[in-house]
Amino acid sequence: MIRLVVFDMAGTTVDEQNVVYKTVHQAVQNAGFEVALETVLLYAAGKEKFQAICDVLKHLQDGPVDMELALNIHREFENMLEEAYDHLTLLPMPGAQEVFDTLRQKDIRIVLNTGYKRPVAEGLLKKLDWKAGETFDLLLTADDVPKSRPHPDMIFKAMEHFGIEDALEAAKIGDSIADIEEGKNAGCSLVAGITTGAQTEAQLKTAQPTHIFHRLTDLIPTL
């Protein structure tokens, strides 16, 4: 029986128009690299953002990543993203509130997790007027664990917080391969890739999730 569902934020529960990866794309291009947005989505989606930039650079460069360059790109990315979010209208993904309400009725805990740093994630939640204890139960970010996705640390931390010992009682839903790998590495019984965000159904299927969802409400019949 599922007692805990861990949801990714951007592209899964939050519609931010893919701004984060468009911003990664622009920051990498500003550093002199020619790269398609689709390539950035493939190598960066779902990951802590410095690691995402390193993985894009590793793909683009023939050799080890220049860490000073990666740090400079990351700093520019953070500045650009802060400005972008200041002017962006955020919306919940269609069906998010219905799914959250259903989970609350079933006494299933709702966790939001993200590769963002905590201040960015909290800023998004404030824009949406989503509050811990009301809309969701717990927020976990890349700042809160030693290793971010695809490592399972955030899921394990959520389980510990709610006193859940068996990962088979947990589910993970996200729009990237990294989300799926995170759920599988934790041993979740339900690991769903959702096609509302960064990566395509074909890309998500390469990570072998237990489910592919095309909308958040696809979760409800599985509970």
Same domain assignment for residues 167 and 217: yes
Outline where 49-176 has alpha helix (H): 49-60, 67-86, 96-105, 118-128, 153-161
Same domain assignment for residues 130 and 52: no
Same domain assignment for residues 119 and 176: yes
DSSP string, 25-68: HHHHHHTT----HHHHHHHHTTS-HHHHHHHHHHHHSSSS--HH
Position 159 scores a pLDDT of: 98
Same domain assignment for residues 163 and 213: yes
Q: Is the pLDDT of residue 50 over 90?
A: yes
Cβ atoms within 10 A of the Cβ of 34, count?
8
Same domain assignment for residues 118 and 165: yes
Domain that holds residue 120: 4-16+90-222
Domain boundary among 68, 86, 104: 86
Which of 55-69, 91-105, 171-185 is the least confident region?
A: 55-69
Whether 118 contacts 39, CB under 8 Å = no
Tell me what percent of the residues of the chain surpass a pLDDT of 90: 91
Q: How many domains does the chain have?
A: 2
DSSP string, 124-140: HHHHHT--BTTTBSEEE
Average pLDDT over every residue of 29-41 = 96
Position 99 scores a pLDDT of: 98
Same domain assignment for residues 155 and 181: yes
Round the CA-based radius of gyration of the chain to a whole number and report it. 17
**CATH at 212:** 3.40.50.1000
